[in-house]
Structure 1
Amino acid sequence: MTAPAASTSNTPPAEATPNRGAPEWNHHHVLDLDDFSVQEIETVLNLADRMREVLDRRIARVPALRGYTIVNLFYEPSTRTRASFELAGKVLGADVISVTASTSSVVKGESLIDTVRTLRAMRVDAMVMRHSMAGTPYLASEHTDASIINAGDGAHAHPTQALLDLYTIRSHLGDLRGKRVVMVGDIAHSRVARSDMWGLTALGAQVVVCGPPTLLPRGLRASDRPAHAESALPPVTVETDIDRAIEGADVVMALRLQSERQQGGLLPSLHEYARLYQVTAERLARAKPNHLLMHPGPKNEGTEIAASVAAGGHSIIEEQVTNGVAVRMALLYLLSGRELPSDTGEAR
C-alpha cells in the first residue's frame, strides 16, 4: 500500500543486521503490513508466543535488549500503544524514553526531520512514532538509520495493532484460513482496519467490512472503481447491513468512530449510528456460537459496542491488550538484530 506521504523501502540499510536467529525476517522498519510476507508475519507471531511466556513469569524481566535504546515519540494521545511499547522495552531490559509533542521542541517549531536526526545523534536505536499525518513514519525512516516503528499514522496504518489482533485470533482459532472476520464501524478513518485487512487476508481469512456508506473507503468495492483501476487495499467483502455481515462470523471486531478525523455530515447522529450499527448481543446471536468479540480500543460503550457484550463471555478485548505487549516485545527484539537465544532469557 502506498502511503499518502513520502514512502521508502522497508528493507534494511547496508549497515543494518537482520536478526540471525529468526527463520524469516528482513525488516529494519515496521511501517505497515503490506510488505510483510506470510512467513515474516508468522515469525513475529511465533516469537510473541515465547515473549508471552516471559510476561507470565512471576518476575517478568529479561536482559535480552540490555544496551538498546528506544524512544517513544508520540504526536497524538495514546494510552494502550504507548504504555505497551514502554513496558515491552523495559521487560526486555532496554532503555526506554517517552516523548510527547507538547513537552518537546516541536512547540518551539522544530521539524519532524530535525527531531529524528537529533534523537539519532544521541545513539537511539529505535523510534516508536505516532502522528496525525499519514505517511510520517515513512518520511522519518528516510532520515535516520534507527529503526522506525509506526504506532499509528493518521488514518493510514497501525501495523502493531494488526499483528496483536492476528496473534490473539490465532491463539484461539489456530489456522486463520477460511475464518470469517467481520469489522464493523468507521472503516474509512480507521488505520487499524487497513492494517488488519492486509494481515488477515495474507493469512487467508475471509474479511468482511461493514458500516454506513459514508464511513466506507472510496473504491473498496470493485464496482465503485474505474475500469482496470486497482484498489489500494486487499480484496474484502463490503456490507452495509450489519446483520448480514455478522451472519456466521468467527470473529467480530467493533471499531470506534474516529470523530477527530471525520468531516461534518457523515452521520445524522450518534443515536442513529448506534441504532443501525452498534454491536449488541442480539446481533452477535447471528455469529457462530463460539465467536470472538474484539475491539482495538479505546471503546465507546453504548455507541459502537454495547457494554454488556464488551464485558461478556465472548469478549477478548483485554486479552488483546496483554498480547500487545508480547507482540511488541517480539518486534523490538527482531529489529534489534540480535541473535535469538534458545530461552529468550539472554541476548548474545
Structure 2
Amino acid sequence: MIQLATEKHLLGLKGVPASEINAILTRAVFWEQYPAKATSILQGKFVANMFFENSTRTRFSFEMAQKRLGAQVLNFAAAVSSVQKGESIYDTVRTLESMGIDAGVIRMKPEGVLQTLAEKVKIPLINAGDGNNEHPTQALLDFYTMKKQFGDLKGLTVSIIGDVKHSRVARSNLWGLQALGANVKFCAPPNMQAPELVEFAPYVSIEEALLSDVVMLLRVQLERHEDGLFNSAAEYRAQYGLTVERADKMQPHTIIMHPAPVNRNVEIDDELVECDRSRIFSQMANGVPIRMAVIERALS
C-alpha cells in the first residue's frame, strides 16, 4: 500500500495511519464551512475522471468537488471510449497524462491494477472504487458523518450488514475504522461473508449487530450469488433487512448509514431511509467536502 504520508495517491485506507485520515477529515470541515460555493484554489489544474465502471453518485460528487475548487474537469466514460475496442486501462491513463492532466480519479472493476498504475505514472491517482478491493473516499465520508454525530470515533462500535464478500465499502471502512480506534462487526449470510476478513472483525447475528452505535447497511445484489440462500428480495429482508421492527430494538443513539444506492424494502425499509436516525442523505452531502479535501491534497 502506498502511504498517504509519502505520496499524493489515495489508493486505499489499508495501512494508512489515523493522523493522515484525521488530516483529511479536518480539512473537510474547512471546505464544508467555506463561505463561497466555488474557489479558484485549483485554477489552471486539469483533473480527469476516468470511470471504467458505471457510477452516477460518485462521479457527480467528485465533479462537484473539482469544480468547487476551480479545476478544469474532463469526464471519461469507458462505454464510449476506445477501451471498448481493446485499449488497455494503462494506455488510456498514460494517454491522458501525456496530454497534460494533473490528476486522475479512477473507478474500475479489476483489482490490483490501480497499484501498478500508480507506480508507473507521475500524476496522483485517486481510487473511486476498484473491484471488491477498496473505496477510500466513501469510507472517509462515512467517518466524517460519524464524527459529526459522535465526535471521536475511538471506542465506537460499527456494524456492517450485508454483502461483505463483494463490498469495497466494507473493506475501506474496516481498515480506516480500526486505524481510528473503532470496533467493527460484520453481519452477513454465509454466502456473502468474506472469510479472509474474519481475523480482523467478527461475524455476528443480526440481533447483536443492531446493538452497535452505527448500523451500516450494504447494497445487496442477489443475482451475484448463484448459490444464493434467498429465493427473493423479500426473503433477504426478512432475515437480514433493517425492518421497522428491528429498528425499534436499536439503542436510542444509534444511527443508520448506507453507501447507496439503496434497495428500498430489501436491505432497509422504505420508511427508515429518511427517518430521524438515518444519515443516508447526509453521507451523500458529506462526500463533496471530503473529496474537495482529497483532491486539494493530491494537487497541492
Number of the residue aligned with 1:251: 214
Cα distance in 2 for residues equivalent to 1:271 and 1:53: 42
Shift of 1:278: 0.5
Q: Identify the range of structure 1 (37-46 vs 250-259) with the bigger mean alpha-carbon deviation.
A: 250-259
Cα distance in 1 for residues equivalent to 2:45 and 2:187: 42
Give the secondary-structure state (helix, strand or coil) at the position aligned to 2:106: strand
Cα distance in 2 for residues equivalent to 1:38 and 1:100: 34
Shift of 1:139: 2.5
The amino acid that maps onto 1:28 is K
Aligned with residue 97 of structure 1, among 35, 58, 74: 74
Q: How many residues align?
A: 299
Shift of 1:191: 0.5
The amino acid that maps onto 2:11 is L
Number of the residue aligned with 1:158: 135
Shift of 1:294: 0.6
Q: Which consecutive unaligned segments of at least 5 residues does structure 1 have?
A: 1-8, 13-24, 223-234, 339-348
Aligned with residue 29 of structure 1, among 9, 16, 30: 9
Does the CA contact (< 8 Å) of 2:237 and 2:243 recur in 1? no
The amino acid that maps onto 2:21 is I
Identity of aligned residues (%): 41
Number of the residue aligned with 2:202: 237
Cα distance in 2 for residues equivalent to 1:124 and 1:37: 29
The structure with the largest helix share of the pair is 2
Give the secondary-structure state (helix, strand or coil) at the position aligned to 1:124: coil
Q: Can you list the C-alpha shifts for 1:201-225, whole angstroms capped at 9, x where unaligned?
A: 1111111110111111013334xxx
Q: Can you list the C-alpha shifts for 1:232-280, whole angstroms capped at 9, x where unaligned?
A: xxx22211x2112212x111111001456x2411332222211100012
Q: Does residue 42 in structure 1 map to residue 22 in structure 2?
A: yes
Does the CA contact (< 8 Å) of 1:190 and 1:258 recur in 2? no
TM-score (norm 1): 0.83
Cα distance in 2 for residues equivalent to 1:186 and 1:113: 30
The amino acid that maps onto 2:229 is L
Aligned with residue 112 of structure 2, among 135, 140, 147: 135
Number of the residue aligned with 2:229: 267
Does the CA contact (< 8 Å) of 2:135 and 2:168 recur in 1? yes
Q: Which consecutive unaligned segments of at least 5 residues does structure 2 have?
A: none
Aligned with residue 187 of structure 2, among 200, 210, 222: 210
Cα distance in 1 for residues equivalent to 2:50 and 2:113: 12
The amino acid that maps onto 2:243 is T
The amino acid that maps onto 1:325 is V
TM-score (norm 2): 0.96
Number of the residue aligned with 2:161: 184
Does the CA contact (< 8 Å) of 2:108 and 2:130 recur in 1? yes
Number of the residue aligned with 1:331: 294
Cα distance in 2 for residues equivalent to 1:244 and 1:35: 28
Aligned with residue 32 of structure 2, among 35, 52, 55: 52
Give the secondary-structure state (helix, strand or coil) at the position aligned to 2:140: helix
Cα distance in 1 for residues equivalent to 2:83 and 2:189: 37
Give the secondary-structure state (helix, strand or coil) at the position aligned to 2:25: helix
Does the CA contact (< 8 Å) of 2:3 and 2:15 recur in 1? no
Give the secondary-structure state (helix, strand or coil) at the position aligned to 1:149: strand
Does the CA contact (< 8 Å) of 1:116 and 1:143 recur in 2? no
